[in-house]
Amino acid sequence: MTEQTQSPDGFRCGTVAIVGRPNVGKSTLLNHILGMKLAITSRKAQTTRYRLLGIHTTEDTQFLFVDTPGFQQKHINALNKTLNRTVTQVLSEVDVVLFVIEPMKLGEADELVLKMLPKNKPVLLVVNKADLMGDKGNLLPLIQDFDLLFDFAGIIPVSAKKNLNLEELLQATREHLPEQAAIYEEDELTDKNERFLAAELVREKVFRLLGDEVPYSVAVEIEKFETVKNLRRIFAAIIVDKDSQKPMIIGKGGEKLKQISTEARQDMEKLFGSKVYLETWVKVKGGWADDARALKSLGL
């Protein structure tokens, strides 16, 4: 990271939190704004576990997007409490907040996040998947319901997957960012290293390929990461909570683990721009999701 000392006239740079209930499309929104897959996605709640910075730089603005875990109360353990605390901390530190919802009736999970929104910062209501509503008039009752509950700085309907209205969202966000120099170099996309990104891609495949079968408490630990010329050699342990969960990850004849590894390796090669040798195995760490020391060792 290189901080510049002088700012071009009118250049803006600031932090933007992306918050919302689980599975509302926060990570998908970030990926489509960046034009690349940085944040992992799945239908499983709280797939995002880490505070992930996505950097998007244009001619006159540097957006520092902070993707956050979906705030929820379903799993009450040390892991969930840590993730919820991350959301609260991010909201206190950023310049602008994007509150992402889906075009449906206000739910209990939305209300939880709504109560956390800061009153002293600009908050934009982002209605994702707006294309599913057809006529824009269908969105009006929903927008009116939310507008009565909070004083939003703006309301923007978008479709992250279809890149609908993303430019309008960026312009609305830019208006609330401070005038200052860029903090990161123009070609930087995140503050996370390749070791972290590799672990996240393996975890994504576990969640995507096993769906509801996979236990909530699954983590990935990169035990070795080395680069030899144009080859990255990565050794990853998939961590589960109980011995009985191990066969779920491995699958019959090792087929499921092989599929996880193959798909993760393919995504890594696209992201890193090089060949990847990936070796994975399953490790049991009983009670890790409720162990503060175990969470700390995994960067949580």
State yes or no: 20 annotated in a binding site.
yes
User: How does DSSP classify residue 71?
Assistant: P
DSSP secondary structure letters along 19-46: E-STTSSHHHHHHHHHTS--S---SSTT
Q: Compute and round to an integer the Cα radius of gyration of the chain.
A: 20
State yes or no: 23 annotated in a binding site.
yes
State yes or no: 252 annotated in a binding site.
no
State yes or no: 275 annotated in a binding site.
no
Rounded-to-integer distance, Cα 9 and Cα 131, Å: 37
Give the number of other CB atoms < 10 A from CB of residue 43. Answer: 11
State yes or no: 230 annotated in a binding site.
no
State yes or no: 70 annotated in a binding site.
yes
State yes or no: 122 annotated in a binding site.
no
State yes or no: 25 annotated in a binding site.
yes
Rounded-to-integer distance, Cα 167 and Cα 154, Å: 14
Rounded-to-integer distance, Cα 170 and Cα 35, Å: 13
Rounded-to-integer distance, Cα 214 and Cα 216, Å: 6
State yes or no: 10 annotated in a binding site.
no
Please report, as a single letter, which amino acid is at residue 23: N
State yes or no: 227 annotated in a binding site.
no
State yes or no: 14 annotated in a binding site.
no
Q: What is the dihedral of CA 114, 119, 122, 125, to 10 degrees?
A: 20
Count of H helices and E strands in the chain?
9, 9
Binding site, by residue number, is 20-27, 67-71, 128-131
**Residue list for the binding site for GTP:** 20-27, 67-71, 128-131
